[in-house]
Amino acid sequence: MCQIPDELIKRMRNIRRLVISTGAGVSAESGVPTFRGDGGVWDKMSPHEMASVDGFMKNPELVWQWYQHRLEIRDNVKPNRGHEVIAELEKRFDYFTLITQNIDGLHTVAGSINVLELHGNITRNKCLDCQEMYEPEIDLSDGLPYCECGGMIRPDVVWFGESLPETVLEKAFTDTEASELFISVGTSAIVQPAASLPLMASRSGAYVVEINLESTPMTASVDLFLQGKSGELLPRILDEFSKNTD
């Protein structure tokens, strides 16, 4: 297993602004499937059919069934050590922001507070037409859910081709540019604009760390690549960081 370099721990002790950004890999050890790679969701399903407005309009029943299935998975899993360590790190820095692409809400369950959810949250629903928000529990047994305005109700998540929530994205950019240390965890670094954040941090002078099971398009440009599971590496980073140096 790879070592945690002293360089990283020294930097953590000398900075005030930490940003951690996460993707599906951080929830994998909780039992939430990732999208890409072996056994990933996109092996069995098409991103266009399941994660775009066109796909939803074409077959809303299918897309709803998939989100109900994922909600069920989410309701039956718990945060893992990776989520817990991220929540603990938030308490140790003056300025801390967690930017996640995940819609499972597990960071909040683990105790993270300052969380920016770039791609929405599976427990919320909204009207496709008027954006009115709806109850987390949608009962599909009576057919598809509709808004009072007549529009279709859909999960409040961001599909391909859709804009990310504006204020959330603006805050993600601002905090990324201000970060002194930026740690990207468990993302394939393919989906934009989330994938551009580490580069943005680097250009603004932050030290950029990537934690992943495998290398990604981002790996060549980070300052430090730690290969392994987030649920194992993050606790080791916290242990080293917590050691008394006197």
Sites of contact with ligand BJW (CB under 6 A): 23-25, 28-29, 34-37, 40, 51, 101, 103, 119, 157-164, 186-188, 190-193, 211-214, 216, 229-231
* Residue partners of 5: CB distance under 8 A and separation at least 6: 224
* Closest to Zn ion by CB, 45 or 128: 128
Q: Which residue in the shown chain puts its C-beta closest to ligand BJW?
A: 25
Q: How far is the CB of 48 from Zn ion (least distance, A)?
A: 25
Q: How far is the CB of 245 from ligand BJW (least distance, A)?
A: 28
Q: How far is the CB of 154 from ligand BJW (least distance, A)?
A: 11
CA 192/CA 69 separation, integer angstroms = 26
Known catalytic residues?
Answer: 119
| Residue that has been written with the tokens 């507070």 in this structure | 113
Q: Are 111 and 33 in contact (CB under 8 A)?
A: no
Q: How far is the CB of 142 from Zn ion (least distance, A)?
A: 18
| Residue 23 interacts with which of Zn ion, ligand BJW, none, CB < 5 to 8 Å by class | ligand BJW
| Residue 111 interacts with which of ligand BJW, Zn ion, none, CB < 5 to 8 Å by class | none
* Closest to ligand BJW by CB, 113 or 190: 190
Binding site for Zn ion (CB under 5 A): 127, 129-130, 132, 147, 149, 151
CA 237/CA 213 separation, integer angstroms = 16
CA 13/CA 209 separation, integer angstroms = 15
* Closest to ligand BJW by CB, 141 or 192: 192
Write down the H helix ranges in the chain: 6-14, 25-28, 41-44, 47-50, 53-58, 60-75, 81-92, 106-110, 166-178, 197-203, 230-242
Please state the separation of Cα 60 from the chain's center in Å: 25
